[in-house]
Homo-oligomer: A and B are copies of this chain.
Amino acid sequence: MTTEAKPTRERLLDAAATLTYRDGVNVGVEALCKAAGVSKRSLYQLFESKDELLAASLKEGAGAFVTGLLPPADDGRPPRDRIMHVFAQVETQAHAPGFRGCRYLAVQIELKDPRHPASRVARRIKRNLLGFFRAEAVQGGAADPELLARQLILVFDGASARAGIGVDTLKGLLTPTVTTLLDAAGLGGTVRTAAASRR
């Protein structure tokens, strides 16, 4: 365990991320403090409430979420490949032990309150993913970029939810599904659009 070397705040953020992902948002303050090796007093010195700790831990994880899913900006690949990259990542992640689906979807489902600080953070992070899909759809010349973006995040959420509860491995599922949707949207394969090659 290397957690001892980390500052208290980080240990709490790590514990909140790990325990809520594994056990749900109703994990107790005692369990969080125990896992972080921190007193309740320290928790409440650093965070106004457990809700704020949860929101902060989700925000903290956003960077890793993005890096783990999205291709590097301007990697020169066509939008279609950049979109497929995300789904290839989901399929790989789904096979990792302890995978429970997209934490930002799960938190919103579990909290059942869109005004909860953690729901707000989760919604914002997923809105950025929708924004990525939309931007690639525009870039790729999709007939209806907004529709394609909504379809892609629908598949993303459906896939990670189903893999997260262990009812689908996603094997052989995402590539044909996303390919079909991209084809229907008129998103070209390996050919860059005029706009893209002018960059």
Contact = CB atoms under 8 A, between A and B. Distances in A.
B108 A165 contact: yes
A112 B162 CA distance: 12
For chain A, what secondary structure do more than half of its interface residues adopt (helix, strand, loop), or is it mixed? helix
A13 B167 CA distance: 26
Number of copies: 2
A166 B109 contact: no
A184 interface: yes
Interface in A73-130: 100-101, 105-106, 108-110, 112, 114, 119, 123, 126-127
Interface string A145-180: 001001101111111011011111000110011001
Contact of A154 (B112, B147, B162, B172): B162
B156 A168 contact: no
Given A105-B161, A158-B161, A112 B126 contact: no
Interface residues of A, number: 42
Interface of A: 22-24, 26, 100-101, 105-106, 108-110, 112, 114, 119, 123, 126-127, 147, 150-151, 153-159, 161-162, 164-168, 172-173, 176-177, 180-181, 183-184
A112 to B, nearest CB: 6
B165 A154 contact: no
12 contacts: A24-B26, A24-B112, A109-B110, A110-B110, A119-B165, A147-B173, A154-B159, A155-B155, A155-B158, A156-B158, A157-B157, A177-B181
